[in-house]
Amino acid sequence: MVLLRNAFKVAACVSGCALAAKLQDDAVLRKVHALTGGEQKNFDEHFPRGTWDDNWDFPIYSLHSRFANLPVNLSRSPAFLLNNKKYSEASDEEKKKMKEEVKSKATRNIILIRHGQYHLDSDTKNLTPLGREQAALLGKRLAESGMKFDSLVMSTMARATETAEIILEHMPSLKRSSCSLIEEGPPYPPVPAVDHWKPQYSPFKG
């Protein structure tokens, strides 16, 4: 996985996925259905399974009472950033101005990039000639895109690192770092749970 970020936090990710979820109580264990003797397995009892936080983008304790009945997906509305007392006492014109002042003007983008084609039958899983060409063309396109990038974060997986290094040849001054947390791993149990999700146990070992 490779992450690229521009001035507005543009990120790119090669292989793997990004997760935006809030894990709750540590006592809640994440379990998976495993087809090993027909039994369920705790593949990591130290990593709790939580549920999706519908209010991930704004602290629930900050919600004003007058918006309590609004759908959760409106929590990013400028209305939640207003001063409750001042807003209630303001005129219609003042309310309009207050809303405009707290309206977000930043743009944040995430660019996800999969690693180039690699040798499936190789121990090193390094890129094929086509994979290197793919990475080079992508690096060239990003460099010529006109976007300003702040940093690139690459997975420590060989094929992801190789892809990122080729991309960086076209953006040599770009800040870069490696992260093992964005390597490929077992899929996270779906939320809400579904009965047909029963992966093999092998991806969860080690």
Tens of pLDDT along 155-194?
999 999 999 999 999 999 999 999 988 887 666 677 777 7
The band of 204, judged by pLDDT with boundaries at 50, 70 and 90, is: low
Domain map of the chain by residue range? 2-29+108-193, 60-102
Strand-strand pairing, 2-6 and 149-155: antiparallel
Between the two ends of the chain, the Cα-to-Cα distance in Å is 19
pLDDT at 166: 98
The 175-179 sheet, strands edge to edge? 2-6, 149-155, 175-179
Give 65's pLDDT tier (boundaries 50, 70, 90).
very low
pLDDT of residue 182: 86
- What's the pLDDT band for 6 if we cut at 50, 70, 90? very low
Model pLDDT for residues 69-115, shown as the tens digit of each residue: 555 444 556 667 778 888 889 899 998 888 888 887 777 777 888 99
Query: What is the CATH topology of the domain spanning 2-29+108-193?
Result: Rossmann fold (3.40.50)
Residue 12 burial (CB < 10 Å; 0-12/13-18/19+)? buried
* pLDDT value of residue 187: 63
Cα–Cα distance, 148 to 151 (Å, whole number): 10
159 marked ligand binding residue: yes
For residue range 136-159, list pLDDT tens digits in order.
Answer: 999 999 999 998 888 999 999 999
What was the pLDDT predicted at 15? 38
Residue 117 one-letter amino acid: Q
pLDDT at site 43: 46
Residue 58: is its pLDDT beyond 50?
yes
* pLDDT for the residue 18: 35
CB atoms within 10 A of CB 82: 20
Phi, psi at 102, each rounded to 5°: -100, 0
Q: Which residues on neighbouring strands pair with residue 175, listed in sequence order?
A: 151
pLDDT computed for residue 103 by the predictor:
80
Tell me if 80 sits within 8 A of 71, measured CB to CB: no
